[in-house]
Structure 1
Amino acid sequence: MAPRTTTGAPRLTIGGLPVDALTEEEVVGHVVAALRRGEGGHVVTPNVDICRACARDPEVRAIIAGADLFVPDGMPLVWASRLLGTPVPARVTGADLIWSLSEAAAAGGRSIYLLGGPPGVPCKAAQVLRARFPGLRVAGGSAPPYGFEKTAEGFAAVRESLVAADPDIVFVGLGFPKQDRLISMVRRDLPGAWFVGCGSAISFAAGTARRAPEWMQRSGLEWLFRLASEPGRLARRYLVDDLPFALRLLVVCLVKRLLRGRGPS
């Protein structure tokens, strides 16, 4: 039987990373309940690229080891859980959580902070989210310059702005592992806040980047949509690195399931 975490849901191991068997609604409920208790946390949304990076680099894996929730962003992880015979309820993405957690924040009088994206994008995303969820408090936003984390001054400026804003929920869209490295370094300054590594979610919310149609999201083809949108940046990542890893992951999970079924009679 899979171990259970403080959420009460099973925690599986898929692709070498923990994955919590939670729905999006359950993630939101867990975060809201924790905020009421004054407890903060860190949500990681693993996909194939994150699994591959963690498998290759122990330092990268250690960055997210202290996170509180791990929910599958990538459909291959959902398929892998089914092949293992321990299916997770659904895919839960940062691009969806930015909406559902912002809705919960508005309902509960909580504040959010948007960190990441090109200049002007956090402000635009804030406008869209406020329009969707009247009463939502946006404590602030920031679009750090490229390479900010490489200097003590650049990192300090981002940290000071975030701490001064004192938000309840922080969406960090800087890409993995940069976003989760920053979270691991600043969450001690805001122990009552929840941090969500959300990739391109801020740009999606702002409408400055297009997300794949829902049918492509459901069928596991969102990567193909993104590849067609940014072939120069994503071709190697998706076709050379991630696709072979995903295929190996699914084969390994299937073999584990078959071997388990052929156990001692």
Structure 2
Amino acid sequence: MGLDVLRCSRRALLDAVSADLAQGQGAWLVTANMDFLSRARRDAQIATLYRQSDVMIADGMPLVWASRLAGRPIPERIAGSSLMFDLAALCAEQGRSMYLLGGVNGNEVRASEALSRMYPGLVIAGHYSPWIGTPPSADEMADIDTALARAGSADVILVAMGSPKQEYVAHMLRRRHPRALIVGVGASFAFATGDLARAPELVQRLGLEWAHRMLQDPRRLVRRYLLDNLPVVIRLLVSSAWQRVRGGRR
């Protein structure tokens, strides 16, 4: 449906990230789920923005299911919320630094403290939660640049602002910080602080983590998941199966 999703395992992704950082090569990584796909279908400008990322991974089981139906299987879902912890562990092991940008109600501070406790040796270069527009203005990006410069160079920059705002910011930061890994992580800081609870492992494997999230925040997420995203899920799965059928006929 117009977005290129990387076919790789979580372990392979982390190995590639580690190798790139060792060589001083950064990247902008997008963790795509059905909300991303739904938004990209509605707005061509947003679709173009997503396509400018260096790497897009499947943070959503429907994307994994669709890849299997189409005969080009993605090995596994790589959840952005889990990836945040993986990257924190990687930074702690290799003596690399991490910057937390975004968050709500001060949870970027509490998230940095929580990650430091979980991963001894993790260097938190800094944290900053500005109010910015969508897309951010030049002045707003200048404030972010100032905050990052004050912290010094960070190896990994986590941007937790929700999509597409975090992608606009990440796209601009990619040019300014070519040696850093920049990842949009949505509400992931709230998982580090405990403000949001991850779904049980079985629920995640069944592809029902969205339902768990929806029950925690129904006023905001019922419309998004059931009215905006569900029709796109159905269309994606049907079109993927049809691709497989047409390929077999050829």
Q: State whether TM-score is above 0.5.
A: yes
Aligned to 2:200: 213
Q: What is the letter of the counterpart of residue 117 of structure 1?
A: G
| Mapping of residues 161-240 of structure 1, within 5 Å | 161-165=147-151, 166-240=153-227
Q: State the Cα distance separating 1:63 from its structure 2 match.
A: 1.4
**2-structure distance, mates of 1:219, 1:159:** 41
1:74 equivalent to 2:67? Answer: no
Deviation at 1:87, TM superposition (A): 0.9
Post-superposition offset of 1:155: 3.2
* CA distance in structure 2 between the partners assigned to 1:256 and 1:149 by the alignment: 35
**CA pair 142-119 structure 1, distance change in 2 beyond 3 A:** farther
Q: Secondary structure at the match of 2:171?
A: helix
User: For 1:13-92, what aligned pairs fall within 5 Å after superposition?
Assistant: 15-92=1-78
Q: Tell me the CA shift for residue 59 of structure 1.
A: 1.1
Structure 2 CA distance for partners of 1:49 and 1:168, relative to 1, 3 Å: same
Shift of 1:235: 1.4
Identity of aligned residues (%): 41
Matched residue type, 1:103: A
Task: Give the 3-state SS of the residue equivalent to 1:17 in structure 2.
Answer: coil
Cα displacement string for residues 111-160 of structure 1 (whole angstroms, at most 9, x for unaligned residues): 00111211321111111111111110000111223648655433321232
Within 5 Å, which residues of 2 pair with 1:100-179? Answer: 100-145=86-131, 147=133, 150-165=136-151, 166-179=153-166
Aligned to 1:96: 82
Q: Which runs of 5+ in 1 are unaligned?
A: 1-14
Q: Which amino acid counterpart does residue 40 of structure 1 have in structure 2? A: G
Cα RMSD after superposing both structures: 1.5
Check if 1:255 corresponds to 2:242: yes
Q: What is the alpha-carbon distance in structure 1 between the residues aligned to residue 239 and residue 160 of structure 2?
A: 31
Unaligned runs of 5+ in 2: none
The code of the aligned residue for 1:154 comes to: E
1:169 maps to a residue whose letter is: V
Q: Contact (CA 8 Å) 1:149, 1:155: kept in 2 or not?
A: no
Conservation of the 8 A alpha-carbon contact between 2:133 and 2:165: no
**1:21 match: secondary structure:** coil
Q: Scaled by the length of structure 1, what TM-score is found?
A: 0.89
Cα distance in 1 for residues equivalent to 2:12 and 2:137: 38
